[in-house]
Amino acid sequence: MVISSASESGTGRESPGAGQPWEVDRQWDSPNRNLAPLTTCIDAEGRLEVGGCRLSDLARSYGTPLYVLDEATLRSTCRAYREALEQFYPGPSLALYASKANSSLAITALVASEGLGLDAVSSGELLTALRGGMPAERIVLHGNNKSRQELALAAAEGVIVVIDNWHDLELLAELAPSLGKPVQLMLRFTPGIECHTHEYIRTGHLDSKFGFDPDQLEPVLQHLAGCGWARLTGLHAHIGSQIFELQPHRDLAAVMADALALACGLGHPVSDLNLGGGLGIRYVASDDPPTIQTWVRTVAEALATACQQRQLELPRLLCEPGRSLVATAGITLYELGSRKQIPGLRTYLSVDGGMSDNPRPITYQSHYTALLADRPQAEASDIVTLAGKHCESGDVLLKDLALPPSSSGDVLVVLATGAYNASMGSNYNRIPRPACVLVGGGEAELVQRRELPEDLLRYDLLPARLQPVT
């Protein structure tokens, strides 16, 4: 791999140039278009650093697999959304971090400090948000099957509850009398918009488990008009995830403006329109997602135009970036282990993690970019299939990966793993979950401890009749 000869000012380290296989269109203002974290560089010994920390040193200090989050990239993405909304939307606005992408106290605190809100989908994500310092008035609770406990917690804390179905309304009607105040609601409906993404992550089309169907919109709005315990202040729709197209978002803005006109006509004080998220990122060099600025401008201008055409006052524009906010900030470090060569067919190179720390390849057939931490510039002359350690033939992270010659013990870096890796992880084969460190300014701070095998026994109970005979 050829690296640009330009050095970062004052660091003495080389910065990868635009157009390289793992740093395409390097942008600070739209990190979703980069493959690696913004602070990625090559040190004087030719080894990779992120946030001023040498990656192979992090692997030795904290063990592998290891999640690494770059603070500068995460903050830059938060600011890109906030500033683009301020620039392109003439009304009030708020970006909500879709915390299902990666939920932790540290990420919550960082996102809150950048002025964003947060979207939670469970009591666990909600408690993480509240204890991480996210103000309750900047939190919304989603979910297609919320429990009584989740609804009670959200309502008591003053969190906006996104009603997804009649079941939500029935439970809230039972809970509301004990609250002594109206519950602030946002209504979710399916807009009937298709987009080209994986079928598992399409949520805007009619055949979806999420939201009220379009023909239910007026009946539920009429029902809520007679509920003294409810205060409907927002409408929500979301069309999917990892989307590169822009036209579906323009279509969504028009649908939402029609819904706003209907709600206002029925007497609801709707001031928020939440158009969801869905902007894609670059996982491999051939991916070409829009910039954050282009996505926000498209949504903002479409909504402003739709409202003007319907003579509606501009609502507060909400959006819910998740993957595009945190994915590029994260990488995963593995240690290479066994090798199996099948002559004329394939070479399997195994790592000390796999589907328990990154279930996306086996679930979505997702692709990633990977390289060696200490030899990123070496010629990638070997073609290998990167296999996980789990007892599952499908536990393959990357097929036909070009790597330099490698040995057991080398540290492998997989890029763009900040979203839906830790949050979708498991303890399959009773393998403990990895640790996570936040890096910046040459310092690494542990923000999630590594599980130990003993931790996996904490909730097991052994009946007396099954106790081992001693």
- What is the per-residue pLDDT across 226-279, written as a single tens digit (0 to 9) for each? 999 999 999 999 998 899 999 999 999 999 999 999 999 999 999 999 999 999
Residue where the block lists tokens 């470090």: 333
Based on C-alpha coordinates, what's the Rg of the chain?
Answer: 24
- Parallel/antiparallel/unpaired status of strands 316-319 and 272-274: parallel
Q: Is 20's pLDDT higher than 60? A: no
Is 391 considered catalytic here?
Answer: yes
**In contact, 94 and 137? CB cutoff 8 Å:** no
Q: What is the mean pLDDT of residues 89-117?
A: 98
Beta-strand ranges (E) seen in 249-296 are 272-274
What would the pLDDT profile of 397-406 be if each residue is shown by its tens digit?
999 999 999 9
Tokens of 371: 């390289």
Q: Is 189's pLDDT higher than 70? A: yes
Question: What confidence tier does 204 reach under pLDDT thresholds 50, 70, 90?
Answer: very low
Q: Which of 195, 307, 391, 436 is catalytic?
A: 391
- Which domains can be identified in the chain, with CATH numbers? 31-70+327-455 (2.40.37.10), 72-324 (3.20.20.10)
What would the pLDDT profile of 127-175 be if each residue is shown by its tens digit?
999 999 999 999 999 999 999 999 999 999 999 999 999 999 999 999 9
Cα–Cα distance measured from residue 17 to residue 5, given in angstroms and rounded to the nearest whole number = 8
Tokens of 137: 């008035």
Q: Is 28's pLDDT higher than 80? A: no
